[in-house]
Amino acid sequence: METVLSGIRSTGNLHLGNYLGAVQNFVKMQNDYKCYFFIADYHSLTTHPTPENLHSSVRQVLVEYLAAGIDPEKSTLYIQSDVPEITELYLLLNMNAYMGELARTTTFKEKARQQPENVNAGLLTYPVLMAADIIIHNADKVPVGKDQEQNLEMARRFARRFNNMYSVEYFKEPQAFNFGKELIKIPGLDGSGKMGKSEGNGIYLADEASVIRKKVMRALTDSGPTEKNSEMPESIQNLFTIMKVVSTPDTVKFFEEQYANCEIRYGDLKKQLAEDVIKMLAPINQKIKEIDADSEYLSKVAKMGAEKARENASKTLKDVKEIIGFRRFW
């Protein structure tokens, strides 16, 4: 059985895009692969969260992963900082990672441009920590978005470099997991191409119905079509993209025909879309409330996940250190 690994930064609530684009597929994968899903709290330190925000964000993502259907009995669900072997492997990999290649990565250059006052070493070595996350479990496949493909290539490079340096075939070279037709990209409500946490244009799994209605009603639209069968602008296409995922085919067809005939009323479209989103998220929203209230269960899940992850990670680290030449005298 192939090993699949994926992590998500603990930087806030999961949104509709996270769920439909990734987590929904993770739930299906649990039966066909050996799955490791983790909350990347070390990665979030590059933005300097407060201690209170760091802990609450990790807890929130854990709650929402579980509410969305990740089964801790089927998968290994863990918090990155609960597995110290990751940071030790990160240190070892850093010794064979070079400034030039790290500084050339697209993600580093983008982050440095976005936060020029906080260009820290963690941003520079982000791909190394990501590589450690992946190869500590010798993952075969990693579901990644377009923005992380280069970092996955870096992980392959570091795995290959280790193997070549020590003349071993220890690490696999992880490949991107392709969801194919099942990959759903959810756009933002502000007319942008992607729903995201930092963009503030998302519908969150934990949002109450009233909040969802307000967000959808504020979604960017235009003054409406003036010619029949005219092409939709991006902001309107985005609303229909979401509708095709959460609404019935008949509903989508009705509003598409309304648009094509220049009879569309965006207020009606948004009201329908909001109610369909609320209906789809209602079971998850209820589970979030139930799990969030059960601290004992969350503690049990986090402890079990850490133990399962460390069992595998400690073996990898032991092997790596022996290959490098670290051997105890006692």
- pLDDT tens digit sequence for 274-317: 999 999 999 999 999 999 999 999 999 999 999 999 999 999 99
How much is the average pLDDT of 192-215?
Answer: 83
Please report where in the chains the tokens 């930087």 appear, as a residue: 11
Q: In the prediction, which pLDDT does 110 show? A: 87
Q: Is 197 a catalytic residue?
A: yes
Give me the sheet containing 3-9, strands edge to edge: 76-79, 34-40, 3-9, 141-142, 175-176
Q: What are phi and psi of 97, to 5 degrees?
A: -110, 140
- The average pLDDT across 59-65 equals 95
pLDDT in tens, 78-130: 999 999 999 999 999 999 999 999 999 888 998 889 889 999 999 999 999 99
Question: How confident is the prediction for the chain on average, in pLDDT?
Answer: 92
pLDDT at 20 over 90: no
Catalytic residue among 34, 172, 185, 197: 197
Is residue 198 predicted with pLDDT exceeding 70? no
Domain with CATH 1.10.240.10 in the chain: 209-289
Q: How many CB atoms lie within 10 A of CB 54?
A: 18
Q: What is the pLDDT of residues 212-268, one digit of tens each?
A: 999 999 998 988 888 898 899 888 999 999 999 999 999 999 999 999 999 999 999
CATH of domain 3-184+295-324: 3.40.50.620
- The answer regarding whether domain 209-289 maps to CATH 1.10.240.10 reads yes
* pLDDT tens per residue across span 151-183: 899 999 999 999 999 999 999 999 988 776 556
Q: Please, which pLDDT band fits residue 147 given cuts at 50, 70 and 90?
A: low
What percentage of the chain has pLDDT greater than the value 90? Answer: 71
Of 74, 109, 111, 146, the active-site residue reads 111
Buried/exposed 202-237: b ≥16 CB within 10 Å, e otherwise? bbbbbbeeeebbebbeebbbeeebeeeeeebeebbe
Q: How many whole angstroms separate alpha carbon 314 and alpha carbon 312?
A: 6
For the entire predicted model, the pTM comes to 0.88
Determine contact, residues 125/117, Cβ cutoff 8 Å. Answer: no
**1: pLDDT strictly greater than 70:** yes
Contact 292, 223 (CB under 8 A): no
Residue among 194, 287, 308, 321 flagged as catalytic? 194
